[in-house]
Amino acid sequence: MRGVMIAGTGNIPFGRHFERSVVSMGCEAGLNALRDSGLEARDIEMGVFSNALAGKLFGDLTVGQNIYADLGMTGMPVFNVENACTSGSTAFYLAAMAIRSGEVDCAMVIGSEKMCVPQIGLLSSGNSEIDTLLGLVTPASFALRARRHMNEFGTTLEQMAMVSVKSRQHSALNPIAQFSKAITVEEVLASPLIADPLTRLQSCPMADGASAIILCSEEVGRRIGARVRVWASVLRTGSYANPQDLARWHTDYEGARLAYEQAGIGPADLDVVECHDAFSIAEIMHYEALGLCRPGEGGRFVESGAAALGGAHPVNVSGGLLSRGHPVGATGVEQIVELTRQLQGRAGKRQVSGAKTGLAHCMGGDKAADTKSMTAVVLAV
């Protein structure tokens, strides 16, 4: 199979864009990626668009075709992807697969999401309206995991709050992040309770935003001077066959193992990581699944400073979902945009010194049976 490279990246600030549409945000991010790559619209042979909520909230269909048409890209295959929080990274997976197979030489991935609208309400992880009324919403499922992790491993409220403090320190260095004001452990713990023990400042905010990536074959990459290579791209979905374990996501462990195997590296080789920190406990559990520390040691890992900029394994130096923001369809794309710029040495004040290898991890929701998706992408120069 052919090698895959990153030709260009683009994004817009994450936050509240009341005046913008999903299409206009996606077009701007796509134009920025084209400018970054030096390629023309006619060079793109396939488009993949990721979004989780446009159909549900606005009744919009085939949004990707509208965006790519506005960008001057018509007559090519266009795919619309919805895969919860992994929508963007699933779109990336499909584009990378098309290039590896030789189907196309250049493909664009755009993720765009509009969440700051009155009717969105709570995002349910249940199967029906009654599930939501009974409290089976996303924060509750993560709260259950937090309590289990505390009980089994001694993880503390303060350690979980440290994840949010770190993320805000990082996002202050990211010009596209939604939040940049520093916070303390005390402020995190004193913020309104969302689902015991998780508080508002330990929960990712609603956000609008868009990100874009252009992938290309090695031949095209050499021609345009691209440096960042895709070493691994993994998409896995859990199974009802897995025994329930609130303190561990089986898909995380399995997906990480496959990504390392595909890339020919191990956790110790990672210079920078972006992971799905929808809630503070999630980042702690992902440290463990990705092999950055042993199972049960995630709380101590963040407390040691190892996950902070300048630490042994910097995690979410973009600010992550907790502080950069989480426009669902754009998140998985933006994680890879962040890693690409880190490996190019273009991350400004949040640059990880000497970064050569990075991993982007995303999780497609949370369900008791662990049947949702997990993606892992390894990039290197």
User: Which residues does the annotation mark as catalytic?
Assistant: 85, 326
Among the listed residues 217, 207, 29, 25, the one whose alpha carbon sits nearest the alpha carbon of residue 109: 29
What is the Cα–Cα distance from 144 to 197, expressed in whole angstroms? 9
Look-up: residue for tokens 């913020």?
191
Tokens 């989480």 -> residue = 326
| Beta strands at 357-364 and 373-380: parallel, antiparallel or unpaired | antiparallel
* All residues at 6 or more sequence positions from 346 whose CB lies less than 8 Å from its CB, including other chains: none
Cis before residue 197, ω within 30 degrees of 0?
A: yes
Q: Provide the 3-class DSSP secondary structure of residue 341.
A: helix
**Structure tokens of 12?**
């817009």
Beta-strand relationship, 106-113 and 198-199: unpaired
Phi-psi label, residue 325: left if phi above 0, alpha if psi -120 to 50, beta otherwise = left
Q: Give the whole-angstrom CA distance, residue 254 versus residue 370.
A: 12
Q: Alpha-carbon torsion 271, 275, 277, 281, what sign?
A: negative
Terminal-to-terminal C-alpha distance of the chain: 19
Q: Which helix (H) or strand (E) holds 222?
A: helix 218-224
Distance CA 303, CA 297 (A): 10
Determine the Cα–Cα distance for residues 342 and 271; give it in Å rounded to an integer.
10
DSSP at 107? E
Q: What's 338's DSSP letter? A: H
Which of 362, 371, 377 is CA-nearest to residue 329?
362
